[in-house]
Structure 1
């Protein structure tokens, strides 16, 4: 992995953990997702318009199918993640989701895309994945404290959705050459349109959700697309089997935020896991 790719991924990790903290604090649901998706479409529209004018993209049938697919998968991801945050701690749901996602993405990238990461890179990926479970308390944390089964279930489901859209999006930006900014914006617009009928049937909730969580909605609307655009840019020239595990440095940030700002505890155990994660990232870079 190049230093440029690593820089993009690490920056994205800070942004990703930050917007997840905002989402967890908001306790929002589908209306929250609809509001930040719509606001995000408006915020990034001028940048997308400039891109299209300066560099008109070629969008064939395959490209539009990818846009539709990523809209559906990301909608499921955001809704599942919100349900998970309503059921359990940030420092439980986030590691489960982020750990399951890269594990499946790396395996499927090797099996379906023919990627051949080096042995050292695979060791690094394994270290990162193991560190995720240490950061979440390990097996003892999952069984001893008896977290809600719903939180674990939604965390794992979110991970499956992460792996699915990661592989689809890798193909879209690297094989079909769809500009990351345009691709993310179209997918975000698609998610907003898909959930609009639901939101319009609950007009009263829209105003109350905005009043209660306006700051979080604005923050997620800005940070979530920016974080993923950086990841998509890295995927244009870096294999998924390197990008997906390296993104998990956001686990460290989320765990620290959960411990310090949400009083979720277990900071020593999770810092130990962070040390393993740093070693894993180093192996990815050297590999």
Structure 2
């Protein structure tokens, strides 16, 4: 992993945490993800007009990824509706890197070297430390429905990360791949919301339109950077570095949602930095 690739993934991490915070700030999660998914479809359609069509070999991965992304969005909505952003977001993202490491080794044949494997493991430990400290720091027991929804979200993230890592490499055009992915995945949730609210939908969307469309643009930018990075580095280190967004998410939770941060999360962030350093040394 070169410094340029690492910088792109870190930029994606900040952008990703920011659009998730926008989504979490909208009380009606169905409205939030309708705006983000629908806006992503429109932006993807515009991008598709100016980018090559992905190669035929990429389309099975595009279809599979679109279905996985729809499941991910549904699970993320459920997580945000059940728990605090500063805790659900880290748990959802923190479970993914180690699962991606296993899936990439089994299905893609990417076996990491010792430094890379250590970096992924240490970074993942830091990520999960950020996530799980919330239970200890608050003195409360885990809310199991919220926790299970966040863990399921993490598994869906790992699944689409590997699918997209293979798909974008066979597409011949990262820009075209992300454009068509947004088109394919972005129609179901808006269609469902239209069915549920019918004529009342415009009035529900209007107060949050600017925030939602900004979240859509940030979502595409974040994942586009990740897909580009996946064409230039192994999947597992990219996945682990991408989840540094957890640190950003925890900070956003503390600053905007008045959720606790504290010393243990700072220590966990330090583990994340050590893990990143080991991954860059391996590159």
Place the TM-score, normalised by the shorter chain, in its bin. over 0.9
The residue aligned with 1:179 is: 173
Looking at structure 2, the residues matched to 230 and 128 of structure 1 have their Cα atoms a distance apart, in angstroms, of 20
Looking at structure 2, the residues matched to 115 and 78 of structure 1 have their Cα atoms a distance apart, in angstroms, of 28
Looking at structure 2, the residues matched to 58 and 258 of structure 1 have their Cα atoms a distance apart, in angstroms, of 38
For the 8 Å contact 2:44–2:178, the answer to whether it is kept is: no
1:270 aligns with 2:229: no
TM-aligned CA deviation for residue 141 of structure 1: 2.6
User: Pick from 97, 104, 128: which aligns with 2:99?
Assistant: 104
The residue aligned with 1:28 is: 28
Looking at structure 2, the residues matched to 78 and 51 of structure 1 have their Cα atoms a distance apart, in angstroms, of 26
The residue aligned with 2:7 is: 7
TM-aligned CA deviation for residue 273 of structure 1: 0.6
SS in 1 for 2:50: helix
The residue aligned with 2:232 is: 237
My pick for the range that moved more, 238-247 or 146-155, is 146-155
The residue aligned with 1:257 is: 252
Looking at structure 2, the residues matched to 142 and 82 of structure 1 have their Cα atoms a distance apart, in angstroms, of 24
Gaps of 5+ in 1: none
The residue aligned with 1:209 is: 204
For the 8 Å contact 1:31–1:205, the answer to whether it is kept is: no
> What is the number of residues matched between the two proteins?
281
Looking at structure 1, the residues matched to 48 and 137 of structure 2 have their Cα atoms a distance apart, in angstroms, of 43
For the 8 Å contact 1:31–1:209, the answer to whether it is kept is: yes
Q: Residues 139 and 118 from structure 1, CA distance in 2 versus in 1: closer, same or farther, beyond 3 angstroms?
A: farther
Q: CA RMSD in A?
A: 1.9
Q: How does 1:27-106 map to 2 (within 5 A)?
A: 27-52=27-52, 57=53, 59-60=55-56, 62-106=57-101
For the 8 Å contact 2:58–2:168, the answer to whether it is kept is: no
The residue aligned with 1:194 is: 188
For the 8 Å contact 1:8–1:234, the answer to whether it is kept is: yes
For residues 157-202 of structure 1, the C-alpha deviation after alignment (integer angstroms, 9 at most, x for no partner) is 100100100010001111x134222222212211233335423312
Looking at structure 2, the residues matched to 143 and 114 of structure 1 have their Cα atoms a distance apart, in angstroms, of 42
Gaps of 5+ in 2: none
Q: How does 1:151-166 map to 2 (within 5 A)?
A: 151-166=146-161
For residues 55-99 of structure 1, the C-alpha deviation after alignment (integer angstroms, 9 at most, x for no partner) is xx4532x42221111111111111111110111111211111111
For residues 200-223 of structure 1, the C-alpha deviation after alignment (integer angstroms, 9 at most, x for no partner) is 312245223312322321121110
User: Pick from 109, 115, 123: which aligns with 1:114?
Assistant: 109
